Chain A
Amino acid sequence: MSKMKLRLVMFIAVGIVCIASAPAFAAFYTIGGTDVMMDGYIRQEFSYNYNNESTINMDGLQSAYSILYADVAAEFGRHVEVRGIVRLWADMAYSLNDGDSHWDTYFRGARHELQFLDEFDDIVRELYVTYTAAKFQFRVGRQQIGWGESDGLRLMDVINPLDLRRGPFYDTQGYSEVRIPKWLVKAEYYPDSFGDINNIALQLIWNPGDIQEQQHLQLPLFVDAHLAPDARVMPNTAGPWAVETAVGHDLPFAFTYDRKTDALRNSEFGARLSFGWGDTYLTLNFWHGIAHESLFDFSYIGPHPLGRTIPVAFDAAGNPIAFENMAVHADLVYPRVTYAGVTANREVAFFSQLLGIATNPVFRFEALYSFDQNMNSNKVIVDLNTGMPSDVFEIIETDQIRYMVGFDWPIRVKWLNPKKNIFVSGQFFHFYTVDMPTPDQFGNETDIVPDSSPYHSWTFDRNQTYGSLLLRTEYMNERLVPSVLFVQDMGTGAHWAVTEIGYKIGDHWRPSLRWLYVDGAYQESFGVYRKRDEVTLRIQYQF
């Protein structure tokens, strides 16, 4: 270990010890008549990758996150609350792996972006004011709003995009740590109950133009490719949970960016009506916003504006012998999206009575209809340079239906845990694309990937299906908390599982050990995170 690395590790360790040895903050106290609640944590975690997939993984230390998180809420009287959440996040892996040729080749490029998150949006996670009256509530400020019922894959949770720069497997049960907050105005109205209808809340949301995009490692492409029929994505990359990188492109890109603009014309609007109806709790949702993912609006293949060249001919040894000035010219566009959805959950006694189980399952359902969704699809054109068919992107419009059926059921399995229930949560997802693209002018939809094309054929079926199963229980008066989350992409056969054991030491220390296993016949659905088999040790001090 070099001196530099040693210093860094020592710095982290000493920092944790110093902070932990300081008197613990009070969680709740009163200052001048104002109730103030403050808590947070300091987290250090190390992920060790043990899969030797050379181009996408770092064999060994993959990440070393250091996080400071503080959450402060102050209540002024019974009506007004101000809340702020700040987070500092650093990845020491960039320093600890400094000088490693493999790391430098594949991961150094993201160093400026991920070693220290120092942008305002990264640090001030949330900041809002809430005013509450008997029948109304207003919340204004930077915030995240979680709609929907699903875990592991998001359906109606459409308001905030995700920060996926660290992959799709981080905080998959909650998303709270990876949602990107937006500046929003949220208003809620609570009518009286009537008849069997109770707990009624009408929520209206307005985003005055703070358009946030999904954050990816390097190029923000096609994380929503799984939503697109017959989508073409980069070689060996991208999928339902995965993200794109710049690795392996055949052609450089020349983008005329149509980036997000924080303008009033980019306002987003949402409404949700939630209510209980007998034993069922329902929500009706509507969202008219802007896509979190950019689409690739192809223009033409032609000379690169900066004169970049690519090899177009090679000798027998594979060395390039001829170069051509060429690039894909395209725009990144952020189309409008319109979703309407429904969620429902209901406790059902029938199964527990049938099986003699003490608790009832709660069934969950969530469905979303996406109107005229813009998607990338392939299109074959005649390459102006070669006269050959060339596979490029086009944008199509189609409706899509997505739904989830699931259940939560705490079950007592005495031989496994005589003192606590085992929480079992299962989900089945189905995405159905209403209008699949028609065959191209050449009469086929098969993959045409000429050398000059940057595209690779990886398509999605009209029907996509996914499943998940979560098991969690607690031992030793909840000091030891094991859990397993298994997620299956039924279309590709790929799957991933997170096994975690958490341990509670007193009020403050929360160490955990986590094992992520990614496998399956066609792991490309996990993109650059395929084979991201890793073990993570997390040490967290909470206050």
Chain B
Amino acid sequence: MKRRLTRGRLAAWLAIAVGILCMVSASAHAWETKDAQLAADWEKMLGFKAPDVVGKVAPEIKPGMVIDGSNYKQYPGLKELLPKSLYDRLDPTAYAPLAPLKIAKTDQYHLSRGYLTKSLENIKKCRLAADGLTLEGYQGGLPFINPKNGNELVQMAGYPYLGDSFAMRPMRLRLYNAKNKPERELRQHLNFLRYKGVTDWREGDITPNPQDIIYVVSGTFIYPRDLSGTSYVRTRYVGANQPDSFLLYIPSMRRIRRMSGRDTQDPLFGSDLVWDDYNVYWQKLSTKDFPCEYRIVKQTEMLLPTFTDYNWPMDRTQAGYTDYRVDESGDQVYLHFGSWQRRPVTVLEIKSIDSAYLYSRRIITFDSETFLTLHTDLYDNGDRLWRSWVRDYNLSQEGTGVMEDLIDIVDVANTHRTILDFKGHMNPRWMDPQYADVRFLSRKAK
């Protein structure tokens, strides 16, 4: 009897210990700097920190609350705190309804020391050229700390903080059908290498760089079989009117083919991801190819997913972010961000001048503290909402490195959905130009 009791107690203690561990790991959601001085300097550069400037819109919505399809109508202020495309998805009958929103306190985010230093240098050096779009004197960092107009703000999307390198291992494209049920999945290993404007771990820009490359993205699809081995190298140049170079290795042909660098408007392999939407906005800023008008719509605050921080070889779960997940077990699929928080945001509208472009306009929501893009709505040529994105980020709390985490892309018009699900290395130092030119394709050629 005594022995049984001892076992029972042991089990109880174990249960308590496991519970505490779970709670501790769950609390890892808070993004808290590991470099207080950098955080202070970042605040000084911007003139504010996020926790100090939010809470004015719908103050009744507070940290600790959980908002879902059953109670969202009790909070009319939510309509102001969420983009309409997200608010509509709180309706449980909507296509791809949102998972419950757990409200957390607002964190202060910052980027790297090198990025900060170059951002400050840009105050004196960086400006828009006469064409109103080309950057002059840019050496890295935020092109503009306080963008005054849409043309300045869009540069944040054109030159976002990506670290000096990253390696997605893998990037999963999870496709869902009209019933919001799993359809199929694609996986690729994606590499990013910055040539110009390095800020994090490289001593200086990569040289020689006779082509004036800004950065290169390369990748290899590893799944499913009918895509496996397909590899590409996509090069972005400084010249505003120089299209990307796009080399593609096609395994069934055992050959490298040059593709049109302007072929950027088709979805990627059946997903809802368009080349020009990579990283929310990857359209080449150009005055000639599909020119646009850029306008700052407003500066406000919005509820958006809280950032995470974990690095290779850990994945999200191993790092304790167990409630950031894609749940495919139910009647339909839910994407759970661990928490949502108020963020100061700047909203940009991009209108296409050329009607041949696939979108008539885009609405992009920038986080005002990092100028990372957190949400976008994309409208077709009839000005109907076509696609909508929302995402968090995997941002280093030490200040150097970033990685995508979870991105939810919903094609409202065609009721199709793609969730981008990432794991990878932030700022891998082994990344070099071998991953950024024909050598990469030769190596991957199979």
Q: Do A and B come from one complex?
A: yes
- Which residues of A approach B to under 8 Å, CB–CB? 27-28, 37, 39-41, 71, 73, 78, 81, 83, 130, 132, 134, 137, 144-149, 151, 171, 173-176, 179, 188, 190, 192-196, 198-201, 274, 276, 279, 281, 345-347, 349, 352, 356-362, 408-410, 412, 419-421, 474, 477-479, 504, 506-508, 510, 542-543
Say whether, besides A198-B437, A421-B263, A479-B270, A149 and B222 are in contact (CB < 8 Å). no
Interface status of B205 (Cβ within 8 A of chain A):
no
Say whether, besides A27-B228, A195-B210, A360 and B261 are in contact (CB < 8 Å). yes
B435-446 contact mask (Cβ, 8 Å, vs A): 1 or 0? 001110011001
Q: Which A residues touch B257, using CB under 8 A?
A: 149, 345, 362, 408
Contacts of B249-264 to chain A: CB distance below 8 A: 250-255, 257-263
Say whether, besides A173-B253, A176-B251, A542 and B225 are in contact (CB < 8 Å). yes
| A192, B269: Cα distance in complex, Å | 33
Interface status of B175 (Cβ within 8 A of chain A):
yes
B267-293 contact mask (Cβ, 8 Å, vs A): 1 or 0? 101111000000000000000001000
Set B252, B260, B290, B442: member contacting A347, Cβ < 8 A? B260
Q: Quick check: A137 and B442 within 8 Å, CB to CB?
A: yes
Q: Which B residues touch A196, using CB under 8 A?
A: 210
Q: Which B residues touch A39, using CB under 8 A?
A: 223-225, 228
Q: Quick check: B253 and A349 within 8 Å, CB to CB?
A: no
Q: Which A residues touch B170, using CB under 8 A?
A: 28
Say whether, besides A28-B223, A201-B439, A507-B185, A176 and B254 are in contact (CB < 8 Å). yes
From A278, which residue of chain B is reached at the shortest CB distance?
B211
Q: Quick check: B208 and A358 within 8 Å, CB to CB?
A: no
Set B208, B225, B262: member contacting A41, Cβ < 8 A? B225
| A478, B227: Cα distance in complex, Å | 12
Q: Quick check: B252 and A173 within 8 Å, CB to CB?
A: yes
| A376, B259: Cα distance in complex, Å | 40
Say whether, besides A193-B211, A420-B267, A359 and B223 are in contact (CB < 8 Å). no
B171-186 contact mask (Cβ, 8 Å, vs A): 1 or 0? 0000100000011110
Interface status of B317 (Cβ within 8 A of chain A):
no
Q: Quick check: B226 and A198 within 8 Å, CB to CB?
A: no
Smallest Cβ distance from A401 to chain B, in angstroms? 22
Q: Which B residues touch A83, using CB under 8 A?
A: 446
- Which residues of B approach A to under 8 Å, CB–CB? 170, 175, 182-185, 187, 208, 210-211, 222-226, 228, 243, 245, 247, 250-255, 257-263, 265-267, 269-272, 290, 356-358, 414, 416, 430, 432, 434, 437-439, 442-443, 446
Q: Quick check: B262 and A352 within 8 Å, CB to CB?
A: yes
Q: Quick check: B258 and A281 within 8 Å, CB to CB?
A: yes
Set B245, B254, B437: member contacting A144, Cβ < 8 A? B254
Further 7 A-B residue pairs, CB within 8 A, beyond A188-B442, A360-B263, A478-B269: A71-B446, A347-B260, A358-B356, A410-B263, A410-B266, A478-B270, A542-B226
Smallest Cβ distance from A334 to chain B, in angstroms? 24
Say whether, besides A28-B222, A477-B271, A362 and B252 are in contact (CB < 8 Å). no
| A37, B446: Cα distance in complex, Å | 12
11 of the cross-chain contacts (CB-CB < 8 Å) are A27-B228, A147-B255, A176-B251, A274-B438, A345-B257, A357-B356, A360-B262, A419-B414, A420-B266, A477-B267, A478-B270
Say whether, besides A28-B187, A358-B265, A40 and B225 are in contact (CB < 8 Å). yes
From A283, which residue of chain B is reached at the shortest CB distance?
B256
| A69, B252: Cα distance in complex, Å | 14
| A211, B261: Cα distance in complex, Å | 40
Q: Quick check: A145 and B254 within 8 Å, CB to CB?
A: yes
From B207, which residue of chain A is reached at the shortest CB distance?
A192
Q: Quick check: B224 and A477 within 8 Å, CB to CB?
A: no
Q: Which B residues touch A504, using CB under 8 A?
A: 184, 226, 270
Q: Which A residues touch B228, using CB under 8 A?
A: 27, 37, 39, 71
Q: Quick check: A542 and B224 within 8 Å, CB to CB?
A: yes
From B356, which residue of chain A is reached at the shortest CB distance?
A358
Q: Which B residues touch A479, using CB under 8 A?
A: 183, 270
Set B184, B252, B265, B358: member contacting A176, Cβ < 8 A? B252
Smallest Cβ distance from A527 to chain B, in angstroms? 25
Q: Which A residues touch B442, using CB under 8 A?
A: 137, 188, 201
| A40, B254: Cα distance in complex, Å | 17
From A37, which residue of chain B is reached at the shortest CB distance?
B222
Smallest Cβ distance from A466 to chain B, in angstroms? 19
Q: Quick check: A176 and B211 within 8 Å, CB to CB?
A: no
From A502, which residue of chain B is reached at the shortest CB distance?
B226
Q: Quick check: A506 and B184 within 8 Å, CB to CB?
A: yes
From A506, which residue of chain B is reached at the shortest CB distance?
B184
Q: Which A residues touch B245, using CB under 8 A?
A: 276, 279
Q: Quick check: A194 and B254 within 8 Å, CB to CB?
A: no
| A271, B185: Cα distance in complex, Å | 40
Say whether, besides A137-B443, A201-B442, A479-B270, A507 and B210 are in contact (CB < 8 Å). no
Q: Which B residues touch A543, using CB under 8 A?
A: 225
Q: Name, among B182, B226, B252, B432, the residue most crowded by chain A CB atoms within 10 Å (CB to CB).
A: B226
Q: Which A residues touch B270, using CB under 8 A?
A: 474, 477-479, 504
| A279, B183: Cα distance in complex, Å | 39
Q: Quick check: A132 and B443 within 8 Å, CB to CB?
A: yes
Q: Which A residues touch B253, using CB under 8 A?
A: 146, 151, 173-176
Q: Which A residues touch B358, using CB under 8 A?
A: 358
Say whether, besides A28-B170, A176-B254, A347-B243, A190 and B210 are in contact (CB < 8 Å). no
Smallest Cβ distance from B186 to chain A, in angstroms? 9
Q: Which A residues touch B226, using CB under 8 A?
A: 504, 510, 542
| A194, B271: Cα distance in complex, Å | 38
Q: Name, among B208, B269, B437, the residue most crowded by chain A CB atoms within 10 Å (CB to CB).
A: B437
Say whether, besides A201-B442, A507-B223, A27 and B187 are in contact (CB < 8 Å). yes
From A40, which residue of chain B is reached at the shortest CB distance?
B225
Smallest Cβ distance from A352 to chain B, in angstroms? 7
| A483, B266: Cα distance in complex, Å | 17
Q: Which B residues touch A276, using CB under 8 A?
A: 245
Say whether, besides A134-B434, A199-B438, A543-B225, A362 and B254 are in contact (CB < 8 Å). no
| A507, B69: Cα distance in complex, Å | 32
Q: Which B residues touch A198, using CB under 8 A?
A: 210-211, 437
Smallest Cβ distance from B335 to chain A, in angstroms? 18
From B272, which residue of chain A is reached at the shortest CB distance?
A477
Smallest Cβ distance from B225 to chain A, in angstroms? 3
Say whether, besides A356-B356, A362-B259, A504-B184, A27 and B222 are in contact (CB < 8 Å). yes
